[in-house]
Amino acid sequence: MLRRGQVVFRQQIHAVAVSEALRQLWHEGPQYFYRGIYPPLLSKTLQGTLLFGTYDSMLCCLSPVGPHSLGNRWAAGLMSGVVEAVALSPFERVQNVLQDGRKQARFPSTISILKEFHSYGLWGRLSQGYYRGFWPILLRNSLGSALYFSFKDPIQNSLAEQGLPHWVPALVSGSVNGTITCLVLYPLIVLVANMQSHIGWQSMPSLWASIQDVWDTRGRKVFLIYRGGSLVILRSSVTWGLTTAIHDFLQRRYHSRKEPKD
């Protein structure tokens, strides 16, 4: 999975084909295949708990007794995405620096990156260090969560009426939502990867300059922005399908235990 992430990252940064991304990885050596594994492991461990926990809490505040309207689900999803962006952006930032093959000599480990960030002033640690590219991340995560949670339950409930096994509607709903959300927001994923690969005060283009650079390096063609998108969208479909199915299973187990026994 991480090796696939390395291939996708290089496509997002250099706008190259899969074969060229694989050639770059092979040229650098197999020892770098798992470079940057720890930040995504930590962030993925936290992501599900943070996202679903925040969403449920926000939804209860907005609509304590239900039923939950589309507006309530959208607002709760939006806020859960904001919390996710604030909490997990530093992990993504470190991961993107580690995955950039051009920085292997200068930043061989996570510790070396953290030392670089802490050499900045307090504001620099946040704006140029841990939270570089934060605004696109905030937009991506908040909109993505709002879209996901707005349509997850309607799709799942519609499929459940067909008499399918309990896990199928949740799996399909998560996969469909993950695919559509990733497809719509993929340009922001590319922008974030390009912004966060920069490190050091001398190489920090502004948000607008980064947008222009991504657009220009893709020859001003939308389909080139989506280079590498097929792997990311496939991964998102599988990941969110499984995540939704597992969450639904655990939720059912929890509610069944809370019900009074006859």
pLDDT in tens, 94-136: 988 988 878 888 888 889 999 999 999 999 999 999 999 999 9
Locate the domains of the chain by residue range: 2-249
Gap between the terminal Cα atoms of the chain: 46
Q: What pLDDT is recorded for position 261?
A: 53
Model pLDDT for residues 139-170, shown as the tens digit of each residue: 999 999 999 999 999 999 999 998 888 899 99
Q: What pLDDT is recorded for position 257?
A: 77
Q: Which residues contact 91 (CB under 8 A, 6 or more apart)?
A: 39, 40, 42, 43
Output the six-digit token pair for 62: 């907005």
Of 6, 9, 4, 8, the closest CA to residue 32 belongs to 6
Q: Which residues contact 5 (CB under 8 A, 6 or more apart)?
A: 40, 99
Along the 262 residues of the chain, how does pLDDT read in single tens digits?
444 466 777 777 777 777 777 787 777 776 666 666 777 778 888 888 899 999 999 999 998 887 889 999 999 999 999 999 999 999 999 988 988 878 888 888 889 999 999 999 999 999 999 999 999 999 999 999 999 999 999 999 999 998 888 899 999 999 999 999 999 999 999 999 999 988 876 667 889 999 999 999 999 999 889 987 888 899 899 999 999 999 999 888 887 776 655 4
Fold for 2-249, please state it. Mitochondrial carrier fold (1.50.40)
Q: Which residues contact 82 (CB under 8 A, 6 or more apart)?
A: 138, 141, 142
* Separation CA 135–CA 143 (nearest Å): 12
Per-residue DSSP letter, 259: S
Q: What pLDDT is recorded for position 232?
A: 86
